[in-house]
Chain A
């Protein structure tokens, strides 16, 4: 069974840092591009960042560029998101999501992990 399991969400002060992880199982991790998508409380989905499966090319939303870093560890089938200089507006549930093998559609999502930025 294809599964994505996020962890690392927490309460952090503005200006602080946090690292999220997403453990993948049930598929060949390095064959797939991966994304982080977030959802602020009561709001819609916002794409955050993506990393390709082949050459690990990365893409970032303007709102997080320069503060967030996406990476992947193929040996552990794990996706990570390093978040620095956190702001109140980064408060959201963060989802890890897999792109399909032949589509840019996100065909598998984790259950999400909550990040709260507050003093």
Chain B
């Protein structure tokens, strides 16, 4: 089955840029979605189809996808961005959806 690899944690100072990677075999050929989940809350879609933002999501959140790595970038990080972030794809070979293990973003 298709596997997505994320770093367990990323630390970033306020105002700096956080980059969260999601690795997968030829992931550039798939549409990647990203979710933010804060403690005790349901996940929220922050980027879909590699780089599109749902309405209401700040422009500070952006995404890219090429080759074997997709990346969620959070610019000008704020304390409120501290959360777990998950990547997500549809694997057409197995007809399964797959989530990455999640990356905990800590704002220093």
Contacts and interface: CB of A to CB of B under 8 A. Distances in A.
Interface of A: 35, 37, 44-47, 50, 59, 61-62, 95, 100, 103-107, 109-112
Interface of B: 1, 31, 33, 35, 37, 42-45, 48-49, 52, 54, 84, 86, 88, 90, 95-102
Contact of B99 (A44, A50, A109, A112): A44
Contact of B31 (A61, A104, A111): A104
Q: Is the interface of B mostly helix, strand, loop or mixed?
A: strand
A95 B35 contact: no
Given A107-B54, A109-B42, A61 B49 contact: no
B102 A44 contact: yes
Nearest to B101: A44
Given A45-B86, A107-B54, A109-B44, 18 more contacts: A37-B43, A37-B99, A44-B101, A45-B35, A46-B99, A47-B88, A50-B97, A59-B96, A59-B97, A61-B96, A95-B42, A103-B48, A103-B52, A104-B97, A105-B33, A105-B45, A106-B33, A106-B35
A61 B42 CA distance: 20
Nearest to A100: B48
Contacts of A35: 97
A100 B47 CA distance: 12
Given A61-B96, A62-B1, A106 B101 contact: no
